[in-house]
């Protein structure tokens, strides 16, 4: 049986003045009753948000690996076909001037590979 203790707390942040204060002393380092810094750093890595992957990053990856360029509209179409989250474009129009063009198979495969590389899918 494990005799270690585990304490978890939830903190509500507000602008109000506290009714009371609890002082807590924590010792960091190695040894009995101390919190190891390596464990804290390792745990913090799990909670870091992933960097936002841009269309430009996808386009650069495809050009570097496959040697051809892909249009942003092709990236959008592939993301749409995979059911990925789409964000509203700041310059979006209500009605398209031209019908959407579906990307060729080799470009779909390259964009899909880039999305896998960046761990989007």
SS3 28: strand
Would you say residue 26 has pLDDT above 90? no
Q: Please tell me whether the overall predicted TM-score, pTM, comes out greater than 0.75 for this model.
A: no
Q: What is the pLDDT of residues 61-111, one digit of tens each?
A: 999 999 999 998 899 899 989 998 877 777 776 777 777 778 899 999 999
Cα–Cα distance, 76 to 111 (Å, whole number):
10
pLDDT recorded at residue 56: 94
Q: Is 112 exposed, middle or buried (0-12, 13-18, 19+ CB in 10 A)?
A: middle
pLDDT recorded at residue 20: 87
Select the more confidently predicted residue: 85 or 6: 85
Domain ranges, ordered by start, for the chain: 55-117
CA proximity to 76, closest of 62, 65, 63, 87: 87
């Amino acid at each position: 049986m494990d005799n270690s203790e585990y304490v978890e707390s939830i903190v509500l942040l507000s602008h109000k003045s506290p009714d009371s204060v609890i002082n807590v002393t924590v010792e960091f380092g190695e040894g009995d009753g101390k919190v190891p810094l390596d464990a804290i750093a390792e745990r913090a890595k799990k909670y870091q948000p992933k960097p936002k992957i841009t269309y430009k990053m996808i386009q650069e990856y495809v050009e570097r690996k496959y040697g051809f360029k892909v249009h942003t509209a092709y990236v959008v179409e592939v993301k749409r076909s995979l059911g990925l989250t789409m964000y509203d474009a700041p310059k979006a129009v209500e009605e398209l001037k031209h019908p959407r063009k579906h990307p060729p198979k080799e470009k779909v495969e390259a964009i899909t590979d880039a999305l896998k590389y960046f761990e989007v899918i």
